[in-house]
Structure 1
Amino acid sequence: MRKADRHVLIKELVNNHTIRTQEELLHLLEKQGVTATQATISRDIRDLKIVKSPDVTGQARFELFQENQAQQEETENQRLIQMIQDVVTKVDRVQFMIIVNTISDNAQLLSATLDEVPMTGRVCSLAGFDTVIIICRTEDDAEKIEDYFKKHAG
Structure 2
Amino acid sequence: MKSRRHNKILEIISEKDIETQEELAEELKRAGYDVTQATVSRDIKILKLIKMQGASGNYKYAASSKESKDINDKLSSILANAAISVENVDNFVVVKTLTGSAMAVAEAIDNLFDTEVAGTIAGDNTIFILARSLDKAEELVDKVRRMIL
Per the normalisation by structure 1, the TM-score is 0.54
What letter is aligned with 1:149? V
CA–CA separation in structure 1 for the residues paired with 2:79 and 2:124: 16
1:146 aligned residue: 141
2:93 aligned residue: 98
Superposed CA deviations along residues 89-146 of structure 1, whole A, max 9, x for unmatched, are 1111111111000000000111122222353231011100001111112110000000
Runs of 5+ unmatched residues, structure 2: 1-19, 23-43, 52-60
- In structure 2, relative to structure 1, the CA distance for the partners of 1:76 and 1:114 (3 Å cut) is farther
Report if the CA contact (8 A) 2:113-2:140 is conserved.
Answer: no
1:67 aligned residue: 63
Quick check: 1:129 aligned with 2:116?
A: no
- In structure 2, relative to structure 1, the CA distance for the partners of 1:123 and 1:83 (3 Å cut) is same
Pick one of 107, 112, 117 that aligns with 1:117: 112
Alpha-carbon distance, 1:75 to partner: 3.9
> How much is the aligned-residue C-alpha RMSD, in angstroms?
3.4
Superposed CA deviations along residues 27-51 of structure 1, whole A, max 9, x for unmatched, are xxxxxxxxxxxxxxxxxx9756487
- In structure 2, relative to structure 1, the CA distance for the partners of 1:76 and 1:47 (3 Å cut) is closer
Larger Rg: 1
- In structure 2, relative to structure 1, the CA distance for the partners of 1:104 and 1:92 (3 Å cut) is same
The alignment covers a number of residue pairs equal to 105
Report if the CA contact (8 A) 2:106-2:121 is conserved.
Answer: yes
What letter is aligned with 1:67? A
CA–CA separation in structure 2 for the residues paired with 1:67 and 1:144: 28
- In structure 2, relative to structure 1, the CA distance for the partners of 1:85 and 1:144 (3 Å cut) is same
Per the normalisation by structure 2, the TM-score is 0.55
Q: What percent of counterpart residues are identical? A: 21
Report if the CA contact (8 A) 1:98-1:134 is conserved.
Answer: yes
Runs of 5+ unmatched residues, structure 1: 1-13, 17-44, 54-64
